[in-house]
Structure 1
Amino acid sequence: MGSDRRAPGPGRSEAGSHRSEALKERIYVTFTALVVTVASARDVEHQTVGGAASTLALTVLGTLLAVFVADLTASMVTRAALPTGVEIRRMLFVSFGSLGVIVAPMIILGFSAFGQLSLSSALRLTAIVLVATLVVITLIAIFRVRAALWVKLIVLASVALLGVAVLAVELSIH
């Protein structure tokens, strides 16, 4: 959690460093959202759509606030100075750019709120969408990596398996 404040390494541009930080936070937030969704699905008979949506939104927002505060504090400790306005804007972008991860889950829960899906189905679909999001984020990340295709496929398969493992836990509870 949090961003790497080291200077970009050889062959790593400043823009690439920022993309890397944003990508890392999106993966972290997506896994967090997936776990919260699975926990809500586990206790679906005691859940409401509003409760599930607010738990998801508050958990993600709290996580992003924690990331921002950690980045801000780490920057101050590392440099013994307050970050510049540009650095704070970058930290805000990296931290809160990950809010997009919960757009689809909130839309799905909205369908449930309007009676188009049961809450149980909405949470299950949300979990599937979040696993798919992890796979897409990983695909984007490995697209630019200079590595053998088999290495890229192992990374992609590992992320997909981790997401599916979280879903398996949810299915084993029901």
Structure 2
Amino acid sequence: MPLSMYQAAIPPLLRGLANLSAILDKALLNAESRHFDAAVLLQARLAPDMFPLIRQVQIVTDTAKGCGARLAGVEIPSYPDTETGFDELQQRIARTVLFLQGLQAAQFDGSEARDIVMKFPNQTLNFTGQDYLQYFVLPNFYFHLTTAYDILRHNGVPLGKGDYLGGGG
């Protein structure tokens, strides 16, 4: 049986979100054990022109919920981007997981050919559902997930490849 769009999208997104949640937990525990305010990490970035950790997490969740909604043909949940702490980021991740888990595989049937249009201030991107998933969602999702991991690793959080890949990877 060929891989369905649901199978190609939702399980990897859920796994990445679970791994991100675990990585954030590990960062918080590490800050506590090193006796510094974990909030400092939320504004950490790899380079001056890159987004800080808090925005990286927001983009990971935005990418995941946008993917699920667009491919399932439902409205994208709106989050206000007002998180200021680790607990609020964890709540955002949890909301995204619940949203994705609520989608049914049948909603994705035929989505590989669905027209996906994304409007940005300076451009409009047009995809088929399959191209959207393969060439926009997954690279964007993993870029921001990796950047969040890298920000924390760069700031001394003892993370390894196993933390990024999660259980069984």
- What TM-score do the two structures reach when normalised by structure 2? 0.39
Whose strand proportion is higher, 1 or 2?
2
Q: Give the greater-gyration-radius structure (CA).
A: 1
Higher relative contact order (CA 8 A, sep 6+): 2
Whose helix proportion is higher, 1 or 2?
1
- What TM-score do the two structures reach when normalised by structure 1? 0.38
